[in-house]
Structure 1
Amino acid sequence: MALVYSYIRFSTKMQMDGDSLRRQYQGAANFIDRGKHTLADLTLRDMGVSAFRGKNKHKGSLSVFLKAVKEGKVPKGSILLVENLDRLSREGINEAYRLFSDILSAGIKIVTLMPIERVYDKDSLTNIATVLEPLITFHLAHEESLKKRERLKSHWDERRNQINNKPLSKRRPSWIDWDDEKGFVLNKDKAKAIQYIFQRCIDGIGQKQILTEVADKFDPMGTSGAWTGSFVSKVLTDPTTFGQLQLHEVT
């Protein structure tokens, strides 16, 4: 029996609607029950957090666990339980193996449930046959993420090339509606509210007073369902009010 730290991670929030969360949670629960282990109080969930650049290691729940290990708060002999090693890292062999070996060197075991159940401990680092599988797993995981990134980049590059013919997405300011045939369409009633905000600002009226007036004259806009000071402030500073589009790439 051991103290088990169950680590669950998936890269996109869309996976939360799929089977990834349930599968990882159930797999961990089955392992703990079968071995009569104890689940640690520390919750390790990185949902919608990528491991390709090590975000989970630097800012996610995994970083909390690593800090606890470094500070000696995780008892030696404890288990870090993951569905697969690619849940820990997709950074590539060097960074991924360094993370793997640092955890084992601290006296913490790593248990993986897929593709088959494996137990890695400090002694595993001196066994070339045992180490080979993690190295291959880390390499393949990184290569898969690279391919996904290139496919996604190519997709968005093409969408940018077609921007004069087709919008990048249906995301839009709250005073713009979407029509399946016409595309983006100005909502004239909401546009009047935006124009009113600017005009009153030009008149020298403060934002607090503008908020009071616009709430009396117009239906609320935005996702909150009510006029707010932050929305008025955003309108007055938002470049989309005069149609500016800033294309960018996320790296």
Structure 2
Amino acid sequence: MKSAILYLRVSSAEQIKGYGPDRQKNLGREYAVRMGWAIECEIADEGRSAFHGANRMEGAALHDFELEARNGLHRGKVLIVENIDRLSRQGAKAAAQLIWALNEHGVDVATYHDGYIYKAGNNGDMMELFSVIIKAQLAHEESATKSRRTRASWDKRHADIANGSKETMAGRAPAWLTIRDGEYRAASGRAEILNEIYDLYINGIGIYKIVQTLNARREPPWPIRKKDGAGGWYMAYVHRLLTNRAVLGEYITLEGQCLAADYFPQVITAEKFARAQAVRGKKAKTGGRYFNRASNLLSGIVFCQECQGTACYEHKGSNSFTTYKGKDGRLRHYRRKTYERLRCDNFRRKHGCDNASLLDYRVVERTILDELLPRLVNRPAVDGALLSLREGVAERVRLKDADQKRLDNIIDAIGDGGVKALIERAATLEAALDEHTKNIDDLRAQLAIEEAKPSTFDDTALIEGLRNELDSPDEEVRSVTRGRVNMTLRRLLHRIEITPCDTFIVWPDKDTWWRFDENGVLLDGEQIWHASSKPLNAA
């Protein structure tokens, strides 16, 4: 009985949902039974286009099969496919070369759609050659026609959306929206979950922990990788939710053009989105294991004074034991001493820094929480009116940006068909606009971050309210609380520096500093501080 491999391919998510693989699988199995072949295995490429050759690129099942065939692993077998266009839609030459290459390595290719077998060895004839060329070219022309029609259809949709049409559907709705009566609307409960994700992230809870939280409470996943939805939430998807400007209502093309600022219903405020991006910028500077990040309240704000590199946090000896045999021959087990330390990471890695200072992390943490936080309250609490103004400013800035981008696109389109002088003038203006836009964007990003920050009073009150949970015996409570406090401390403190003299300097801002010894005793400092602050007394 001849051994066979069944190949399945669908090019889009819609085909996958339409059970295209199941149809191909059932028909392929029936064909193998009729031919008296035993199916050795089934290989599949889901969501890979044959028109662009994605199913033959590295990582695809067909790519791996070709390599195996080239190494003689499938000699004497038959590859079963629905028809030639499942293998390739890149034209007659590409399809013919693929089939003939498989034949040369001893593999027959059978298409059950028309019952034709392209045999290995010298069993082929001239009609087989014509058959491959004609079928492959027809498949390529069909795909090319579909591609042109699809591109024209999307160009028309994009033009309508840019002109303010709300009736034009952009296709599949974002996961937190649904389409009812020809309109996009927030799906039941999903806007609340999306806001919860943003709130958790802004409060210092990392993406990994957010995913764990959603999966632990069995929140039905939006990204369904399997038909039964068993895939759960995963980090890459939550990251996309935190960076997708469609939550603001904007329609962004794959090329990055903003066609409309209010196309979708807005489910996340501009102020909240800006704060999330500010948190992303801060988190990008840190790394390490999640356990260390959750334990270290000072992650991302401690640096070496000598090389300006980041400080590493070491937590050693936790839950570890040492064993030795006594004179009486009995084994004794002792818990090792647990210690947490801060030191220059470049020195630790012997990477061009001589700062060998090693500080007790708990001393630095206690100094920050007990000595400095009470003196950082130098601004009044933020009231609801100010928060509303912040949100309004951020929203209008966003709308202005979106309109400017739309205007730029229109100018570009006019310039492409204008006279030479107009084109040159447009090019000069575009260069100037690009420079202005870059400068404005940089300033606006800084403004959005500052405007989105809670007041110092709010931040210190938050930390005081969480003090009892920082060392909670419940690991879940402890890690979440420490993540929130870490993000708050990043707003309150400019930086902490480890000096070569076993001391550390705390900079609440760029103009104020205090130096402490390794035991947390104040040595000296420079105060340019709010009048209501109580001065620190040197030891």
TM more than 0.5: yes
The structure that has the greater radius of gyration is: 2
Name the residue aligned to 2:251: 245
| Letter aligned with residue 31 of structure 1 | Y
CA pair 246-77 structure 1, distance change in 2 beyond 3 A: same
Alignment pair present for 1:39 and 2:45: no
Q: Residue 122 of structure 1: SS of its match in structure 2?
A: coil
Higher relative contact order (CA 8 A, sep 6+): 1
| Letter aligned with residue 247 of structure 1 | T
Alignment of 1:114-133 (within 5 A): 114-124=113-123, 127-133=125-131
Q: Residue 24 of structure 2: SS of its match in structure 1?
A: helix
The answer (yes or no) to whether the contact 1:6–1:39 under 8 Å persists in 2 is: yes
Q: Residue 162 of structure 1: SS of its match in structure 2?
A: helix
Quote the sequence identity (%): 24
CA pair 36-230 structure 1, distance change in 2 beyond 3 A: closer
CA pair 171-4 structure 1, distance change in 2 beyond 3 A: same
Name the residue aligned to 1:171: 173
How many residue pairs were aligned?
234
How far the C-alpha of 1:147 sits from its partner, in A, is 0.7
Name the residue aligned to 1:157: 155
Deviations along 1:27-67, whole A, 9 cap, x unmatched? 32233323432221x32122332211111111422112112
The answer (yes or no) to whether the contact 1:207–1:229 under 8 Å persists in 2 is: no
Q: Return the alpha-carbon distance in structure 2 between the equivalents of residues 192 and 107 of structure 1.
A: 55
Q: Tell me, which stretches of 5 or more residues in structure 1 are unaligned?
A: none
The answer (yes or no) to whether the contact 1:54–1:90 under 8 Å persists in 2 is: yes
How far the C-alpha of 1:80 sits from its partner, in A, is 0.9
CA pair 37-155 structure 1, distance change in 2 beyond 3 A: same
Deviations along 1:158-199, whole A, 9 cap, x unmatched? 11111011352462473x676637655799x95898499579
The answer (yes or no) to whether the contact 1:9–1:45 under 8 Å persists in 2 is: yes
Alignment pair present for 1:66 and 2:66: yes
| Letter aligned with residue 143 of structure 1 | E
Q: Residue 206 of structure 1: SS of its match in structure 2?
A: coil
TM-score by length of 2: 0.37
Q: Bigger CA drift: 56-65 or 146-155?
A: 56-65
Q: Bigger CA drift: 8-17 or 190-199?
A: 190-199
Q: Residue 45 of structure 2: SS of its match in structure 1?
A: strand
How far the C-alpha of 1:139 sits from its partner, in A, is 0.3
CA pair 190-49 structure 1, distance change in 2 beyond 3 A: closer
The answer (yes or no) to whether the contact 1:207–1:233 under 8 Å persists in 2 is: no
Q: Bigger CA drift: 84-93 or 142-151?
A: 84-93
TM-score by length of 1: 0.73
How far the C-alpha of 1:84 sits from its partner, in A, is 1.3
Deviations along 1:142-161, whole A, 9 cap, x unmatched? 00001111111111111111
Q: Bigger CA drift: 92-101 or 190-199?
A: 190-199
| Letter aligned with residue 161 of structure 1 | A
Name the residue aligned to 1:111: 110
Q: Return the alpha-carbon distance in structure 2 between the equivalents of residues 96 and 243 of structure 1.
A: 44
Alignment of 1:206-217 (within 5 A): 206-207=204-205
Query: Root-mean-square deviation (CA), in Å?
Result: 4.0
The answer (yes or no) to whether the contact 1:107–1:121 under 8 Å persists in 2 is: yes
Q: Return the alpha-carbon distance in structure 2 between the equivalents of residues 227 and 103 of structure 1.
A: 40
Name the residue aligned to 1:5: 5
Q: 2:137 aligns with which of 136, 139, 152?
A: 139
CA pair 172-29 structure 1, distance change in 2 beyond 3 A: closer
Q: Return the alpha-carbon distance in structure 2 between the equivalents of residues 16 and 227 of structure 1.
A: 20
| Letter aligned with residue 51 of structure 1 | A
Alignment pair present for 1:25 and 2:25: yes
| Letter aligned with residue 4 of structure 2 | V
CA pair 62-222 structure 1, distance change in 2 beyond 3 A: closer
